[in-house]
Amino acid sequence: KRCQQNSERLLKFNRQLEGSVLENLMPIITTITTITITNAGDTITIKEKEEAMSRSNQPFRFKQFEVCHSRSSMKVGVDAVVLGAWADIESANNILDVGCGCGVIALMCAQRNPSVIITAIDIDDSSVAEASYNFEMSPWSERLCAKAENFMELSCCGSKNDFYGYDYIISN
């Protein structure tokens, strides 16, 4: 009975959030530890396959790809998943992902926009190596690139501005 009540509350809550971040998340996520959504005092916590997220040596699985995150400085977390699902990147041609960690946000953006080119940078060599591996294993490998670069050292002034080539800069 308790499960049925929770399911009914979730369905009601889902209908209230049509067009919101929850709608963007559900088609992408197949495994997540915990996500909490609050609306008008009503809080719902969704838990699925808690074990998969608790071990950093296991890949985090999405519907169309998986992410290894055992070596990178930034593991897969709810903030990255929400940002990857919520960012308005449909009109983007080129995205710079700053502090990419394992590359989860870049992968989610590549999944959501079939023509975007994404450059992911990080100062941690292990993160860049793991993001590169995750990109190579994805269906969008030809549109993803990971580089060991420091955002603070990128040119931001003058006629040859490194940022001019990017429609969006994304980071969590």
Asked if residues 37 and 14 have their Cβ atoms less than 8 Å apart, the reply is: no
Confidence of residue 139 (pLDDT cuts 50, 70, 90): very high
pLDDT > 70 in the chain, percent: 61
Least confident of 37-51, 52-66, 93-107: 37-51
Residue type, 130: E
**Among residues 149, 150, 58, 138, which one has the least CA distance to residue 103?**
138
Residue type, 91: S
The pLDDT, as a whole number, for residue 51 is: 41
pLDDT digits (tens, 9 = 90+) for 14-32: 555 444 444 444 444 444 4
Q: In the numeric block, which tokens belong to residue 91?
A: 């009109």
Alpha helix ranges (H) inside the chain: 2-16, 21-25, 50-54, 78-86, 104-112, 125-137
pLDDT digits (tens, 9 = 90+) for 90-120: 999 999 999 999 999 999 999 999 999 999 9
Handedness of CA 156, 159, 161, 164 (dihedral sign): positive
The pLDDT, as a whole number, for residue 129 is: 94
pLDDT digits (tens, 9 = 90+) for 146-162: 999 998 887 654 444 55
> Which one has a higher pLDDT value, 165 or 47?
165
- Cα separation, 63 vs 67, in Å, equals 11
Confidence of residue 59 (pLDDT cuts 50, 70, 90): confident
Confidence of residue 52 (pLDDT cuts 50, 70, 90): very low
